[in-house]
Structure 1
Amino acid sequence: MSAMKTHASEWAGLRGARRFLFCSEDNAVAAQLAQALGEEGLLMQETPAPQELARRVAEISPSLVFVDFTPSADEPGKLAAAADLVRLLAQAAPEVARVAVGRLSQPEGAVAALRAGVSDFVDPAAAPEETRQVARRLMAAPRGNDAGQAGRSLLLLGARPGVGTSTLAVHLAGIVQGRLQQAHGAHAGARAGKAAEPGEGLPLAARVAVADLGWPVGDCQLYLNIKGDFHFAEAARNLKRLDATLLGSVLPRSASGLSVLALPRDVEQMREVSLADSLLVFERLRQHCGAVLTDAGGFSNAKFIAALARVSQYVWLVTDQSVGALVSLAGLLQDLERLHVERARLGLVVNRYDERYGMTAQQIAERFGLALVGTLPERTLALMTCTNQGRLLHEEAERDIYVRGVQALADRLCAEAHAARAGWLASWLQGMPRWPAAH
């Protein structure tokens, strides 16, 4: 265990100050983190031995724990050790939020942190103001198991192209966006004493972002009738500038505030985007937006899909009852398991469902060892009629049986959040159980 060091401009406030614990041996990084945090609290630097971790965290009683994920050529095992420490912290002090500290110029640290289950990443040297914003947000979040660590993200994976993944994605995103908009409007109106303007001016924290990564390219953006030139490869090229201000101004969005980040039409541009940068784009969206819903139906990069699955809060596989889709579902599950995505984390949505087709949804779920999340009925004619008119079905027929099915899925995402949190943020996913730590 390293000696305790305290980084603060004033020692006198130790007794009453908020305490932050930074688990690191690197004094230079600690000094940068302390400077970035400023007067938010007192940074205490220590790396407790595993057997003493729970006792030391209880004695220090930190508001947040920062873990050092800055790669070092002199310490080849540093990132693995940091990931092990995160998992120990999750067991020893699950109520204390954990934040990874790294370098945007060294994305391997961020990737290691994401794989270890850390949802928040800061670079105090490059983005001190963002470091303070992350600290304030996590300290303001209600405390509970894994407080401040909710992923606020859903990954939809189609068993094969054509099973309705993109259609589900845009309807689910639209319904959740309506709830966020309504709740934010009530919250803002209560503070201002008047109703808030719908859609326009919504902060990112009250907006759903759709990561439109499905195939064919841009289907979600097309269904939502949203135009824009800013795409996923552009976001990856601008990672260092990808803060709330930039995202708020460049993300294409609907009148309700729903945002979309699609693949470039020239998919060759994606060859220049690394896996690490792709994951960091996803993390930036999750860090700043109220919710991130990723449509990856038909996306061909299995390693990226598996990495997204490991860091998303929810992963739902979408299929129908056809033989082709079920065979493809079996292959998809094999690919995910080969890439270390635990089947226990996956849920199943059966689309175009009709018991007369043969196997019931529950039988399909049991056959593949998946939890059944929900079913959606066959409504191709109604859905196509609306999309051809530039509208979504839930905007035209709120009580349609397909829309009611999607609303039930939205209820499933939001239910525990409503019970766990007060204010408009209750309309999303805080408090849901996270995925188990990898071993």
Structure 2
Amino acid sequence: MNMRMDPLHVKTPPSQGQESGLLRVVLATQSSAHAFWLASALGDAAQVVPAPLDAAQLQPLLVASGLGAVVVDFSAPSTEAAAMVVAEVRRQWPGVALLGAGSPADPASMLAALRSGVVEFVDWQASAAEAGSTLKRQLLARPALAAVNESDDSHFILPLLGARVGMGVTTLATHLAVMLQQMQAHDAQQANHPKAQRKFGLHQPSQSHEHHAALLDLGLPARDGLLYLGVSGSFSFADAVHNLRRLDATLLDSVLDQHASGATTLAWPADLSKLREVSPASATSVMQTLKPLFKAQVVDLGGLGQVDFVVPVLREASRAWVVCDQSMGGIVSTAQMLKELESKGVDRSMLKLVINRFNAQAGLPAKELALRLGLELMHVVPDRATALLNAASCGQLLSETMRGDLFVTSIRNMSRGLLGSPLKDEVASSGVLSQWAKRLRRGA
């Protein structure tokens, strides 16, 4: 029998819990008595949020911030329903810490919990201290991970959004990931060998074998980023979802492809039918797992019109860049995408505008375009289509062939800004852009 269980009746109100920084333990159960008992066992260590034994109704609780663990009650007569919930949560949210609960007096429920693959088992007949200790072992690891995932700005996820195919998002993403890798490798070498006064240059070999930056090539057309970087991508993003618990530095070295700069790549599988195996929650779980391993994850979401997939990714990031050009189709599509994101609860203030392929002699001025879209203007990237095409035809990035090009300068400034040491402010009033615009007006 379903019942209504309000978290207010179990612990402090959700707003209070969030303000005090408490982790949440979601308890999927049909027993209010078990919810009260677990809240007593945890005390002030976490907030217990009871929920029905239904994976669909659990979803809003699992994607919200502050989740510590999920406990599923296998007590009879709900043993079978509990097993189904665990299976669905493991499939949709593979990174969630799942615990089972039941009584050794009911061996069938305990066996079902263990067979489902839960990491711990809570005994309803144990003392509150024992149950609290069992759960706290799982919760203790969470703040350590959160220290990297939430507080450490030096490890970041940067989604690049493009409302339609052809906005140049992949070109930006590939150049940005490689530049971030090279800059951080160079900075690491300078820190380790301060007397080695080697000038930073993109033609130098990689100066560090450490993983610094990753390109998550999740836009459309699929796997274009791999083509630009000249890597095969045999280990796909779907493979990462299936091997989430094995994603560590050793696996990265052995199976993930790297560009010559050292930037790591992870893309959609070549067989796009496998995309059905990747849920939004599982995608964000991969990013969470990779976050301690990379200082920067550049996520190419250009042309990916599935807002339901994009929104959870945005929740994992503190910021995102919306890439738009001056074309009428691009502007209209971007405005529509922004409305859809807002309808899903995305705060527009976290979205910054990057105007790509900007031509000062055509289309809307940069500031006016930003005003119409209602976004803060972050960067303006000049139109260098011919130079980019020439470099790609040689199987190289433009930063590898013309490191003084205005496009490359833009990418370099973006990267320095992301790393916390901007070289120049490159919005529409910037010196580089102003000089470039004046040259265009003079017909230079």
User: What TM-score, normalized by structure 2, do the two folds share?
Assistant: 0.64
Distance 1:25 1:280 in 2: 18
1:328 matches 2:296: no
Measured in 2, the distance between the counterparts of 1:271 and 1:84 equals 23
Deviation string for 1:115-155 (max 9, x for gaps)? xxxxxxxx9769x999998766777x7xxxx6347760110
Name which of 72, 78, 100 aligns with 2:68: 100
Distance 1:220 1:320 in 2: 19
Read off the aligned partner of 2:240 and give its amino acid letter: A
CA contact (8 A) 1:70 1:101 kept: no
Per-residue deviation at 1:109? 6.6
Residue 208 of structure 1 deviates from its aligned partner by 0.7
Contact persistence 2:169–2:302 (CA under 8 A): yes
Q: Which has the higher contact order (CA 8 A, sep 6+)?
A: 1
What is the CA–CA distance in structure 2 between the aligned matches of 1:309 and 1:75, rounded to whole Å? 22
Note the residue ranges of structure 1 that are not aligned, 5 or more in a row.
Answer: 4-19, 27-44, 49-64, 87-98, 114-122, 192-196, 419-439
Report which of the two structures shows the higher radius of gyration computed on alpha carbons.
2
1:175 aligns with 2:179: yes
The CA distance in 2 between the partners of 1:198 and 1:132, in whole Å, is 41
CA offsets, 1:222-248, max 9 Å, x none?
Answer: 111122310111111222322332233
Q: 1:225 to 1:357 in 2, by over 3 A?
A: same
Q: 1:258 to 1:132 in 2, by over 3 A?
A: farther
2:209 equivalent to 1:202: yes
Structure 1 Cα separation of the partners of residues 220 and 320 of structure 2: 18
Gaps (5+ residues) in structure 2?
Answer: 1-8, 12-20, 28-40, 72-85, 98-117, 122-135, 196-203, 424-444
Corresponding letter in the other structure for 1:257: G
Shift of 1:301: 2.4
Q: State the superposition RMSD in angstroms.
A: 4.2
Aligned AA for 2:392? T
Please give the alpha-carbon distance, in whole angstroms, between the structure 1 residues aligned to 2:225 and 2:50.
36
User: Which sits farther off after the overlay, 361-370 or 405-414?
Assistant: 405-414
Matched, 1:235 2:203: no
- The offset of 1:274, in angstroms, is 2.4
SS of the residue aligned with 1:100?
A: strand
Which amino acid in the other structure matches residue 203 of structure 1? Answer: E
SS in 1 for 2:221: coil
1:337 aligns to what SS in structure 2?
A: helix
In structure 2, distance between residues paired with 1:180 and 1:278: 26
**Using the alignment, how far apart are the partners of 2:219 and 2:206 within structure 1?**
26
| Percent identical | 31
1:333-372 equivalent positions in 2, closer than 5 A: 333-372=338-377
Offset from partner CA, 1:350-384 (integer Å, 9 cap, x none): 11112321311111111111010111111111011
Q: Secondary structure of 1:356's partner?
A: coil
* Partner of residue 379, structure 1: 384
Is 1:249 the counterpart of 2:217 in the alignment? Answer: no
Is contact 1:158-1:317 (8 Å) kept?
A: yes
1:100 maps to amino acid: G
Which residue, out of 165, 168, 172, partners 1:164?
168
2-side partners of 1:83 and 1:218: how far apart?
27
Is the counterpart of residue 280 in structure 1 residue 266 in structure 2? no
Q: 1:22 to 1:296 in 2, by over 3 A?
A: closer
* 1:26-425 matches, cutoff 5 A: 46-48=42-44, 73=53, 86=66, 100-101=68-69, 106-107=89-90, 147-148=151-152, 152-189=156-193, 199=206, 202-204=209-211, 207-415=212-420
**In 2, Cα distance between the equivalents of 1:289 and 1:366?**
34
TM-score by length of 1: 0.65
Tell me the SS of whatever aligns to 1:162.
coil
Secondary structure of 2:378's counterpart equals strand
